[in-house]
Structure 1
Amino acid sequence: MAQDYYATLGVGREATPEEIKKAYRKLARQLHPDVNDAPDASDRFKEVTVAYEVLSDPQKRSILDRGGDPMGGGRGGGFGGGAQGFNFDDIMDAFFGQNGQRGPRPRQQRGQDALLRLDVDLAEAAFGVTHEIKVDTAVTCTTCDGSGAANGSQPETCRTCHGHGDVQHVQRSLLGDIRTSRPCPTCHGFGTVIPDPCPECAGEGRVRSRRSISVTIPAGVDQGTRIQLGGEGEVGPGGGPAGDLYLEINVARHPVFQRKGDQLFCQVSVPMTAAALGTHLDLPTLEADVAGTAEGERTVGLDVPSGTQSGETMTIKGFGVPRLRGSGRGDLKVQVVVETPSRIDDEQRALLEQLAKLREEERPEALMGTHHKGVFHKIKDAFK
């Protein structure tokens, strides 16, 4: 009477091939002598392997289901002991998580992604721009249309593996015959060979070429932003689908503005008298760097109140950078730097000395700390 191989694997008689394979993998992981030092682990490992050999073979399983002995009345040497032995690939699947799929691999494969760094100025990054860029990537060979074969020829079935893509190696061991699969050395796993390769691409199905791409940079991109262009990367081997092209934005330094997120920062210098008395300034906007900007959008007014201290920051709403995700714009932050004259004539000196006398500041005391009023607050008080 044949052994109950279903019970050995712990599956029912209606189990599918996938369920049988899953059960075997689970038991093989538990019982393999390299991971299980129980005295009966080796024998049980042999039993489940034989059971899997029977149940995974439709012909042997049919004999078993009809009440026969698929192993010919005995188990012979170790792992099945039959003429075929067992397939070591299934044990490798159990331990290394392979999916068990066999057969030739396709010549057409997806190409790699490509990365290109694109330099833009601050205004282009803020308001968006369209650039024509040159890309040096692999493209489909136009001579063979990606097949890799010369005109009038085509790939042929490999005579070594007969189109399977892999070859079987049998090795004798104390546990029986061990069969392993390896990629065919003749066709490298493709199952076909190209006897007459295309002279343009040498059988690769692709060649390197420089091409132009029109790229639209959206408004609001920042340093390091990556833009994905689907299908504009490297064409794959065998004329396979192209990968993606990623553009990494590099924003050039601006002579006036600095950017932090959606806000712009700049400094403006005003004379000491203007800071004390107050003034109005017309400042250039970032739009002034964009060709075709209307004259009224090239400047923005800033009122500097009297008594403004050096280092004070004023905000101009809505003149920053447009938001990449969302609506509206950030603000423009203007830091005022008060300039003290380094050279004055006799008349100016006399006026300043008169002001110092009125302010009783001819010999001022040093005020240390951070909470006292500055000199321009005192000038503001004097004019009041």
Structure 2
Amino acid sequence: MSTKDYLEKDYYAVLGVPKTATADEIKKAYRKLARQYHPDANQGDAAKEARFKEISEANDVLSDSKRRKEYDEARTLFGSGVGGPRPGGGGGGFPFDFGDLFGGTGQQSGSTSERIGDLFGGLFNRGGAGGSRTTGTTTRPRRGQDIESEVTLTFTEAVEGHTVSLRLTTSSACKACSGTGAKAGTTPRVCPTCEGTGAASRNLGNFAFSEPCRDCKGRGLLVDDPCPVCDGSGRAKSTRTIQARIPAGVADGQRVKLKGKGAPGENGGPAGDLYIQTHVKPHAVFGRSGDNLTITVPVTFTEAALGAEIKVPVLKGMPVTLRIPAGTPNGRTFRVRGRGATRKDGTKGDLLASVEVLVPQELDDKSRELLNEFRTATASEDPRADLIQRARSE
């Protein structure tokens, strides 16, 4: 992406959130749009695939507090100068058209600071005419793009960790021309305008701006016979399959960062990062509460009243024995240590087992007779007496 694109694109509008949106609001908006436009759900729809890339690009910037701050500051800076009145015309705008500065920018760099640095590297005569020569985009290392992907895991895979295969499509150096942009058997020539630096300096009195060379578009080289594969761009789409390890204990909706697994860098620059949005399928028996697993265990009335030892399943391995004391009320929760989800430090949370006292739906004559005897024996006890008394005292 060029500097112009970076500053002109309204990422807030892309996600449909205001500029004052919180991190949670941005995350919620992204997840909703990502599900709607994800390529897996819209196979063959190029428009929706492009929309998904635009949404991911906006989320990459706005979900990172540092990049969001740089983005906001850059747009504020340009908003104060673009189209402003000229000196002598009653205002303090810049005495030139900022649109001229963007005529032919180089390839996308890895960070906001680099993009703005390319444009304002010569501000206040730093690196301008008479100063040191600015290094062109063809020689300066560039960090690769970050990539966004999604995976769906089973409940067990999320708790224990899982390795998934991901097929990624990224932009890399064209293999046919080795990234030069020139047809095989030919070589590009050094741009005579910028002498291979990829940058030109413009002096404006007290100001000097370094901008990408308009003849070579910031590459420092001119291609007379372009490569037919990449049309002289030096870039091509490449597809690769990687094995990505999802750490144990991830939760539904969590974003996992795999450093250096994104698009390859340019000119020896580091690779970008891979961000994986995780979706976890619910389990038929177990639930999650942070690092703890939860389970509801049915018990009979007699087990709760008289006490019992019952078997409780765990996510992996043999069931554990849980001692239910006499007089256990419905909904009481018991803790089984070390049978929960794996934490970042390798330890495990607990299993929280809540008992649910079952009431028989049908009774035979013998059971009904025994329960009537029990009711007669406990008729003097009114469990609601204290409740009514307390209600009247208020």
Aligned to 1:350: 369
CA deviation after TM superposition for structure 1 residue 90, in Å: 10
Count of residues in correspondence between the two structures: 266
Aligned to 2:357: 338
Select 2:385's aligned residue among 353, 357, 367.
Answer: 367
Equivalents in 1 of 2:286, 2:352: separation in Å? 10
1:160-179 map, 5 Å: 160-167=193-200
Is residue 2:190 matched to residue 1:157? Answer: yes
Judged with a 3 Å threshold, the aligned counterparts in structure 2 of structure 1 residues 229 and 195 are, in CA distance, closer, same or farther, namely farther
Select 2:136's aligned residue among 87, 101, 105.
Answer: 105
Q: SS where residue 286 of structure 1 aligns?
A: coil
CA deviation after TM superposition for structure 1 residue 270, in Å: 1.3
Judged with a 3 Å threshold, the aligned counterparts in structure 2 of structure 1 residues 170 and 119 are, in CA distance, closer, same or farther, namely closer
Equivalents in 1 of 2:182, 2:151: separation in Å? 37
Between the two proteins, what is the percent identity of the paired residues? Answer: 37
CA deviation after TM superposition for structure 1 residue 330, in Å: 1.5
Q: SS where residue 348 of structure 1 aligns?
A: helix
Equivalents in 1 of 2:121, 2:236: separation in Å? 39
Equivalents in 2 of 1:94, 1:159: separation in Å? 23
Equivalents in 2 of 1:320, 1:180: separation in Å? 59
Residue deviations 1:282-333, cap 9 Å, x none?
222111xxxxxxxxx23222122222110111111111122222x4322111
Contact in 2 for aligned 1:221/1:324 (Cα 8 Å): no
Judged with a 3 Å threshold, the aligned counterparts in structure 2 of structure 1 residues 170 and 339 are, in CA distance, closer, same or farther, namely closer
Equivalents in 1 of 2:387, 2:268: separation in Å? 73
Equivalents in 2 of 1:312, 1:136: separation in Å? 51
Q: SS where residue 337 of structure 1 aligns?
A: strand
Aligned to 2:113: none
Q: Can you give the 5+ residue segments of structure 2 that lack an aligned partner in the other structure?
A: 1-86, 88-119
CA RMSD of aligned residues (A): 3.4
CA deviation after TM superposition for structure 1 residue 180, in Å: 6.1
Aligned to 1:261: 290
Contact in 1 for aligned 2:257/2:273 (Cα 8 Å): yes
- Structure 1 range deviating more: 301-310 or 233-242: 233-242
Given residue 170 of structure 2, which amino acid in structure 1 is its aligned partner?
T
Q: Can you give the 5+ residue segments of structure 1 that lack an aligned partner in the other structure?
A: 1-33, 35-88, 288-296, 373-384
CA deviation after TM superposition for structure 1 residue 237, in Å: 5.8
Contact in 2 for aligned 1:145/1:239 (Cα 8 Å): no
Is residue 2:341 matched to residue 1:318? Answer: no
CA deviation after TM superposition for structure 1 residue 164, in Å: 4.5
Select 1:281's aligned residue among 286, 310, 317.
Answer: 310
Select 2:327's aligned residue among 296, 302, 307.
Answer: 307
Q: SS where residue 276 of structure 1 aligns?
A: helix
* TM-score, normalised relative to structure 1: 0.60
Q: SS where residue 198 of structure 1 aligns?
A: coil
Q: SS where residue 274 of structure 1 aligns?
A: helix
Residue deviations 1:20-67, cap 9 Å, x none?
xxxxxxxxxxxxxx9xxxxxxxxxxxxxxxxxxxxxxxxxxxxxxxxx
- Structure 1 range deviating more: 219-228 or 150-159: 219-228
Contact in 1 for aligned 2:188/2:223 (Cα 8 Å): yes
